[in-house]
């Protein structure tokens, strides 16, 4: 059975579902898994600095005791400066969030690139190299947006 298809809506900076008549469109399981993995807030590690100063580690209570918490720590970059180090951390957080797809054998390899595409906007390209040799390329125009 296929999953509900999630698409990325760049103008809104979020994912959304698509209707197919009266039903929700299904398929594109890998893209949906990547979107949820990247753009859901993963719980912060004990040594992470919470950017808003609240101490709220976010995440989902259902992740307690799980090997792979759902989501990514990209939200921790919320107040970071536009530097090469921030882009490198984003790339690391993306790789961390997608690791479960490698470990489960869904994907053989990810190629990840992060780059500053405009002032205060970090983009990412994620290329999923599936185990059957097919490739799925995904571009995200704003995985990080600075606060002005």
Domain ranges of the chain: 6-145
pLDDT at 45: 92
> What is the 3-class SS of 5-21, one letter each residue?
CEEEECCCCEEEECEEC
Asked if pLDDT for residue 38 goes beyond 70, the answer is: yes
Residue 2: band (very low, low, confident or very high) from pLDDT cuts 50, 70, 90:
low
88-102 pLDDT tens trace: 999 999 999 999 999
Residue 26: band (very low, low, confident or very high) from pLDDT cuts 50, 70, 90:
low
Residue for token pair 């490698």? 102
CA distances from 130 to 31, 95, 101 (A): 12, 15, 10
List the beta strands (DSSP E) in 1-148: 6-9, 14-17, 19-20, 23-24, 107-118, 121-130, 135-145
User: Mean pLDDT over residues 17-41, rounded?
Assistant: 79
pLDDT at 27: 65
User: Mean pLDDT over residues 99-121, rounded?
Assistant: 93
Angle at 123 between CA 148 and CA 86, to 5 degrees: 65
pLDDT at 130: 94
- The strand pair at 19-20 and 14-17 is best described as unpaired
The residue among 93, 120, 97, 86 whose CA lies nearest residue 13 is 120
């Amino acid at each position: 059975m296929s999953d509900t298809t999630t698409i990325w809506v760049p103008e809104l900076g979020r994912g959304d579902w698509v209707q197919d008549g009266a039903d929700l469109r299904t398929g594109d399981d890998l893209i949906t898994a990547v979107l949820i993995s990247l753009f859901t807030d993963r719980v912060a590690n004990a040594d992470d600095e919470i950017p808003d100063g609240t101490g709220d580690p976010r995440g989902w209570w259902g992740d307690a005791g799980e090997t792979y918490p759902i989501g990514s720590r990209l939200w921790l970059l919320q107040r970071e400066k536009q530097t090469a180090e921030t882009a490198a951390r984003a790339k690391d957080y993306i790789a961390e969030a997608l690791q479960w797809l490698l470990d489960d054998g869904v994907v053989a390899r990810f190629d990840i690139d992060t780059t500053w595409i405009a002032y205060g906007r970090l983009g990412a390209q994620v290329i999923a190299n599936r185990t059957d040799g097919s490739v799925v390329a995904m571009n995200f125009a704003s995985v990080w947006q600075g606060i002005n």
